[in-house]
């Protein structure tokens, strides 16, 4: 039932026109409505109607089939709030870097060098995988939060115990 309700609202593009500009704009508008300026939880009554846009991005990012140009439209949309920018970094872009780094690192690095909005998106990404984080070029590594250090912090030197001479009572 929920699936039918969600997918009924998708403004599906015509064949061969999967990522047309109007479809990308519809995704951006829907995401902006569902996320709002306060974040996802504040707009629950509108989220179900707009959930299709989240599903499209989540599915295609998990599959590694999401063109970065679609995210360009989303993050630069006139209604994109800080909460939407953060949710793109925390969710979709994080998935792209973790699951499909070879396909997306170069395009994201170009955007990080040239675009303030994309730098904000990337500052919201957190990679807890050492290998994925280590593979990032410097311009992304400087923005993306990496894994927590795994080594134990250095222990402070312990003071030496002095021997106390014992006195005989007599």
- Give exposure, 74-91, as e/b (b: 16+ Cβ within 10 Å): bbebeebbebbbbbbbeb
What number is the average pLDDT over the span 35-41? 59
pTM over 0.85: no
- The pLDDT, as a whole number, for residue 56 is 87
- The pLDDT, as a whole number, for residue 18 is 73
Q: With 60 as the cut, is the pLDDT of residue 143 above it?
A: yes
- The pLDDT, as a whole number, for residue 163 is 54
- pLDDT bin (cut points 50, 70, 90) of residue 164 is low
**pLDDT tens-place string over residues 64-113:** 999 999 999 999 999 999 999 999 999 999 999 999 999 999 999 999 99
Residue of 54 and 40 predicted with greater confidence = 54
Q: What is the mean pLDDT of the chain?
A: 78
- pLDDT bin (cut points 50, 70, 90) of residue 5 is very low
Rounded Cα gap, residues 86 and 138, in angstroms: 21
- Residue 131 vs residues 101, 102, 120, 134, 150: alpha-carbon distances, Å: 10, 12, 23, 5, 13
- The pLDDT, as a whole number, for residue 95 is 94
Q: Give the domain ranges of the chain.
A: 2-141
- The pLDDT, as a whole number, for residue 47 is 59
Task: Note the helical H segments in the chain.
Answer: 2-7, 21-35, 44-63, 68-75, 82-87, 94-99, 101-114, 116-123, 130-134, 138-141
Question: Which range among 18-22, 82-86, 118-122 shows the weakest confidence by mean pLDDT?
Answer: 18-22
What SS3 class is residue 90? helix
């Amino acid at each position: 039932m929920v699936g039918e309700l969600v997918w009924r609202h998708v403004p599906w593009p015509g064949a061969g026109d999967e990522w047309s500009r109007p479809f990308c704009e519809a995704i951006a508008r829907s995401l902006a409505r569902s996320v709002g300026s306060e974040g996802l939880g504040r707009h629950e009554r509108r989220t179900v109607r707009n959930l299709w846009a989240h599903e499209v991005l989540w599915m295609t990012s998990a599959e590694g089939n999401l063109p970065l140009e679609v995210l360009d439209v989303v993050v630069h949309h006139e209604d994109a709030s800080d909460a939407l920018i953060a949710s793109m970094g925390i969710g979709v872009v994080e998935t792209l870097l973790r699951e499909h780094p070879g396909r997306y690192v170069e395009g994201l690095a170009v955007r990080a060098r040239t675009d303030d909005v994309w730098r904000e998106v990337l500052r919201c990404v957190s990679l807890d995988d050492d290998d994925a984080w280590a593979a990032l070029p410097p311009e992304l590594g400087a923005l993306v939060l990496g894994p927590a250090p795994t080594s134990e912090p250095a222990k402070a030197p312990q003071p030496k115990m002095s021997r106390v001479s014992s006195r005989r009572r007599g």
